[in-house]
Amino acid sequence: MLDLFHAVLFTALIGALGLGLASIVMTIIPVRSEEQSAEELAKTRVEYAFFGFAGVVVAFVMWVGMWLS
């Protein structure tokens, strides 16, 4: 049963890390459209950065959960 628990934690770890790193990359390389203002672009970059670092933190928590169990 512990292996099933580790499999679920590992799946969450990979998913969160993948989405987090993708969001961090989107923070660095933003997509800008013609009608987007500088304020909207800054808001989008902050959102991507927040979700990116949140994903990395969730992945770290999953890794600690696997390590401690």
Residue 24 in any domain: the answer is: no
Assess if residue 1 is contained within a domain.
Answer: yes
**Number of domains forming the structure of the chain:** 1
Token reading at 20: 């987090």
In a domain, 27, yes or no: no
User: How far apart (Å, rounded) are the C-alpha atoms in residues 53 and 34?
Assistant: 28
Residue 63 lies in a domain: yes
pLDDT tens track for 3-62: 899 999 999 999 999 999 999 999 999 777 788 888 988 899 999 999 999 999 999 999
- Return d(Cα 18, Cα 49) in angstroms, integer: 14
Write out the residue range of the structural domain in which residue 61 sits: 1-11+38-69
Q: Confirm whether 68 is domain-assigned.
A: yes
Yes or no: say if 41 and 30 are a contact pair by the CB < 8 Å rule.
Answer: yes
How far apart CA 10 and CA 36 sit, in angstroms, is: 38
Q: Report pTM.
A: 0.84
Residue 58 lies in a domain: yes
